[in-house]
Amino acid sequence: MKKQFIVAVTVSAVLGISAFASNASAASGKRLFMTCTACHGKDGKSPIMPAYPKIAGQNKEYVLQQVKDIMSGKRANGQSMAMKGVLVTPTGEPRFSDEDLNVLADYVSKLAP
Ligand code: HEC
């Protein structure tokens, strides 16, 4: 279980960096969402751990707020630390622009729940 978790974090961190390095503002939600699938599942509803949430079809505004809160550390319970590492660099720089987050939240909200 622990090993699986570490692999997921590593894979998603790598994907996160590549999504950021490419022209992120032009990237589609689908491509940006690749950063999220390692934990939340390709369809946004098959998380790798029972304690990880299904997010497909969630309201856009809610998704955006949760992602921003996890990024900033406002939402900081034990589980959210796993996700924060993917959203923010080790020195605290966000990996996603506001525009990316907006595109992402829109994409997540349109996935079939
Ligand atoms: C390393 C694993 C991991 C990755 C990658 C990840 N998340 Fe998460 N995410 C989590 C966990 C764990 C939680 C639950 C946090 C908690 O317990 O509060 C969460 C919570 C969320 C929530 C809040 C759900 C709710 O019902 O409150 C949203 C929205 C979300 N993630 C979206 C994303 C998006 C979008 C991405 C891609 C940019 C992403 N996540 C990438 C692990 C991850």
CA of 40 to the centre of ligand 1 (A): 7
Q: Tell me if 55 CB under 6 Å of ligand 1.
A: yes
For the domain spanning 2-110, the CATH number is: 1.10.760.10
Q: Tell me if 12 CB under 6 Å of ligand 1.
A: yes
Q: What is the rounded average pLDDT of the residues 35-61?
A: 97
Residue 78: the pLDDT is 84
Written as one string, the DSSP assignment of 46-102 is: --SSTTSPP-TT--HHHHHHHHHHHHHTSS--TTHHHHHHHHB-TTS-BSS-HHHHH
**How many residues appear in the chain?**
113
Q: Tell me if 8 CB under 6 Å of ligand 1.
A: yes
Please state the domain extents for the chain: 2-110
The per-residue pLDDT for range 75-90, each reduced to its tens digit, is: 998 899 999 999 999 9
Q: Tell me if 109 CB under 6 Å of ligand 1.
A: no
Residue, of 2 and 45, whose pLDDT is higher:
45
> Are the beta carbons of 15 and 38 closer than 8 angstroms?
yes
pTM of the model: 0.82
